[in-house]
């Protein structure tokens, strides 16, 4: 890794002092996220993806953007309303950010529609899948759809009038609607609203299953049934996004669970932050919506239909395997195969630490671990943190079984996991009903760490077994997110885990842990120390280097530390999927820093922090990104990888293959834009995710990349 020539270090020493707080050295967080979503959108163009996977990326782009407006754009508006004067490291005020966001978002949305109409639609038609407009249907198809409307759609619809006797109806968050103008017999026109029911298929299949029409068009064609005695003058779609960020005043909420339930209900009624309208909608109708929804002109987005394109996910459910990625068949590490008894998994862990790399490795061993603990008579206690477990949660069922088997079970359920609150409330209640000790974390902090502790009685005394992870205990996302998990019975890590759980469930001011790096108490300071140590190694002529893989890089102090490392000549490779506010490639400041982002079939989610450390390599993995929210406002854990073989595997077979990716990797340029890497002449084509699919980890003992 130590490839920077010695003269670079000498030149760095001669570089004039630079103010590392200069705003020009940093990218804006929100604009950086938009560039990430642009990379997602560009995957829809990539012909190397099967067709329905390209459609999926269009849907993901829309869903991402909706959430961005609900949380980040609404937050900027709140800052303006509150008169917040503080600015991020890049120096942009909230108003400047909103102006620049609109200038970039509207072209992106229009680009999405160009891809859909000019590239995706012709390809779908060539594959025999037809998304039709209502006026393209044959008369007999219209007849069948009219019957379908009467039987399946009409009973669900609620037409709402707006006139002097009836107020403007509430338009809920994320709703797709038809704005309708009707005329009575006296020639007076009125406005009406019809919500497109989210409970019905957005793409209505016509009889052969390969031809579809949009649900809103079926409704629009039958509006006369909803407004009998009125002439239908016009109908246009609009889509509403509201502020969905919940603010929980925990110190004033005696029952956090009930408070969050109330906030979930209120989420539907936040102020509108984006109104997308059919670009053909007349000004008079736009004015009605604008005035009654209290929308600023800058929050209106006129677009060609269809709106709310996240619904394109439905096409991925078509039974067309030739148009999708090959089925994922995850592997099981040899250490965890053919286990015949619950105790066998503990014996396997005693023989050595075991690494799992999801989704390439099966998530089943994690479920087997918790289930084995639930039924093994020698297991005395299970403690676990749950952040996002999903609707169908086998890990929770195993914990319930453990409680019924008289184990001591303690579970921290994070109720404030955004958009998973409702699911987590349900599981918390189910666990409490069985007598499980359920806690909701520390006041003012989200608990984002991923850890399971099992205490087992053995001939030599009690032994603690751990599963530590970068990802959630969610069997569904484990099949689409890349994450790393470690089974270990290391005594120091077990002792640290016990003390961490005692902090989460009881009273403690502990800040020191033997092996774990824990936020918000000491993680940032320890990471800063480790970066400074690499600088010291470089200056002393010892091997030095940093490879950090994460979702986002925003924290200003850590970015300044990385700049200092680069100025000292330390090679710094950053694999940052999403937001990166650091500016690479600046002469005398970040010459040795390279930043890549990988967007592919799976969502890159693992966090790895690699330190060359003069040749005595250290590697940490865990739940934390380098963001103020992770380091200051969450309980996060980074855990060391103590097994030298696994450390070598992570370096040679995960990090090196990702850094060599020349198919799905995009490299960040000094101007803030990303260039997609392409294989050079004679270079092998390297797609890191495809490579990982073809090369099992073998529990952390697999073949090296090079």
Positions marked active-site: 448
Which residue in this structure is represented by tokens 């995960």? 654
Q: Cα separation of 376 and 255, whole Å?
A: 35
DSSP 551-605: S-B--HHHHHHHHHHHHTT--EEEEESS-B-B----TTTSTTEEEEEE-SSSEE-
Q: Cα separation of 533 and 268, whole Å?
A: 49
Q: Cα separation of 671 and 422, whole Å?
A: 41
- For 435-555, where are the alpha helices, taking DSSP H only? 491-505, 523-539
Which residues have a Cβ under 8 Å from the Cβ of 193 and sit 6 or more positions away? Answer: 159, 160, 162, 169, 171, 177, 178, 179, 180
Q: From the CB of residue 667, how many other CB atoms can be counted at a distance below 10 Å? A: 15
DSSP 338-368: S--SHHHHHHHHHTS-EEEEETTB-SHHHHH
Using DSSP's 3-state secondary structure scheme, residue 614 falls into helix
Q: From the CB of residue 671, how many other CB atoms can be counted at a distance below 10 Å? A: 9
Q: Cα separation of 86 and 91, whole Å?
A: 9
Which residue in this structure is represented by tokens 């120390």? 529
User: H or E stretch including 484?
Assistant: strand 481-488
φ, ψ (nearest 5 deg) of residue 148:
-60, -40
The total number of residues written for the chain in this structure = 706
Q: What is the 3-state secondary structure (H, E, C) of 642-683?
A: CCHHHHHHHHHHHHHHHHCCCCCEEEECCCCCEEECCCCCCC
- Shortest CA distance to 104 belongs to which of 30, 25, 27? 30
- Shortest CA distance to 600 belongs to which of 677, 669, 690? 690
Write out the E strands in 49-149: 130-132
Q: Cα separation of 109 and 650, whole Å?
A: 38
Contacts of 266-269 spanning 24+ positions with Cβ under 8 A:
267/173, 267/242, 268/172, 268/173, 268/242, 269/170, 269/172, 269/173, 269/242
Contact 179, 247 (CB under 8 A): no
Q: From the CB of residue 589, how many other CB atoms can be counted at a distance below 10 Å? A: 21
Using DSSP's 3-state secondary structure scheme, residue 63 falls into helix
Contact 214, 306 (CB under 8 A): yes
Helices (H) and strands (E) in the chain, counts: 22, 27
Rg (CA), the chain: 27
Tokens of 470: 């970068």
């Amino acid at each position: 890794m130590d490839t920077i020539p010695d003269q670079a270090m000498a030149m760095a020493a001669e570089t004039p002092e630079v103010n590392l707080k200069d705003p020009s050295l940093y990218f804006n967080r929100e604009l950086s996220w938009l560039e990430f979503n642009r990379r997602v959108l560009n995957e829809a163009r990539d012909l190397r993806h099967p067709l329905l996977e390209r459609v999926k990326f269009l849907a993901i782009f829309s869903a991402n953007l909706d959430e961005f407006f609900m949380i980040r754009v609404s937050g900027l508006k709140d800052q303006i309303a509150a008169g917040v004067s503080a600015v991020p490291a890049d120096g942009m005020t909230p108003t400047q950010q909103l102006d620049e966001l609109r200038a970039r978002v509207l072209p992106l949305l229009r680009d999405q529609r160009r891809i859909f109409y000019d590239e995706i639609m012709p390809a779908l038609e060539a594959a025999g899948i037809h998304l039709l407009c209502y006026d393209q249907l044959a008369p007999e198809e219209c007849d069948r759809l009219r019957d379908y409307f009467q039987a399946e759609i009409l009973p669900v619809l609620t037409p709402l009038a707006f006139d002097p006797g009836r107020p403007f109806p509430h338009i809920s968050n994320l709703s797709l609607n038809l704005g309708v103008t009707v005329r009575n017999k006296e020639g007076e026109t009125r406005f009406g609203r019809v919500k497109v029911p989210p409970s019905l298929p957005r793409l209505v299949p016509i009889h052969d299953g390969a031809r579809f029409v949009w649900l809103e068009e079926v409704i629009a064609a039958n509006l006369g049934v909803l407004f009998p005695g009125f002439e239908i003058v016009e109908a246009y779609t609009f889509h509403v996004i509201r502020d969905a960020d919940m603010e929980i005043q925990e110190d004033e909420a005696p029952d956090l669970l009930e408070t969050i339930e109330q906030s979930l209900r209120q989420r539907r009624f936040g102020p509108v932050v984006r109104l997308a309208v059919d670009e053909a909608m007349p000004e008079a109708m736009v004015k009605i919506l604008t005035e009654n929804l209290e929308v600023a002109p800058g929050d209106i987005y006129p677009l060609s239909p269809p709106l709310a394109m996240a619904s394109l996910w439905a096409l991925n459910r078509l039974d067309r395997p030739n148009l999708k990625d090959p089925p994922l068949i995850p592997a099981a590490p040899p250490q965890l195969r053919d286990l015949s008894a619950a105790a066998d998994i503990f014996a396997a862990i005693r023989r050595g630490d075991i690494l799992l790399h999801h989704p390439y490795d099966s998530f089943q061993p994690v479920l087997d671990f918790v289930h084995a603990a639930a039924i093994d008579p020698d297991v005395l206690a299970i403690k676990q943190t749950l952040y996002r477990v999903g609707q169908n949660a086998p890990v929770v069922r195993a914990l319930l079984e453990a409680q019924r088997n008289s184990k001591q079970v303690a579970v921290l359920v994070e109720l404030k996991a955004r958009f998973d609150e409702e699911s987590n409330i349900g599981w918390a209640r189910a666990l409490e009903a069985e007598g499980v000790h359920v806690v909701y974390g520390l006041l003012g902090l989200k608990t984002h760490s991923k850890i399971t502790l099992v205490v087992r009685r053995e001939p030599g005394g009690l032994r603690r077994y751990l599963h530590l992870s970068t990802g959630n205990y969610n069997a569904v996302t484990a099949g689409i997110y890349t994450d790393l998990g470690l089974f270990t019975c290391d005594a120091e890590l077990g002792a640290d885990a016990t003390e961490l759980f005692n902090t989460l469930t009881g009273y403690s001011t502990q800040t020191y842990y033997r092996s774990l790096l824990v936020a918000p108490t000491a993680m940032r300071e320890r990471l800063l120390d480790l970066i400074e140590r690499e600088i010291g190694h470089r200056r002393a002529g010892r091997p030095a280097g940093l490879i950090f893989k994460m979702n986002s890089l925003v924290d200003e102090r850590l970015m300044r530390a990385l700049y200092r490392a680069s100025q000292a000549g330390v090679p710094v490779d950053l694999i940052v999927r999403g937001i990166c506010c650091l500016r690479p490639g600046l002469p005398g400041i970040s010459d040795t820093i390279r930043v890549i982002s990988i967007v592919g079939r799976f969502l890159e989610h693992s966090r790895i922090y690699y330190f060359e450390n003069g040749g005595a390599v250290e590697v940490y993995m865990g739940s934390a990104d380098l963001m103020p929210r992770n380091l200051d406002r969450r309980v996060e854990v980074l855990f060391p990888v103590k097994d030298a073989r696994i450390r070598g595997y992570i370096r040679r077979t995960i990090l090196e293959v990702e850094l060599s990716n020349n198919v799905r990797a995009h490299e960040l340029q000094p101007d803030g834009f990303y260039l997609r890497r392409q294989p050079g002449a004679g270079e092998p084509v390297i797609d890191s995710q495809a490579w990982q699919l073809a090369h099992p980890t073998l529990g952390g003992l697999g073949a090296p990349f090079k």
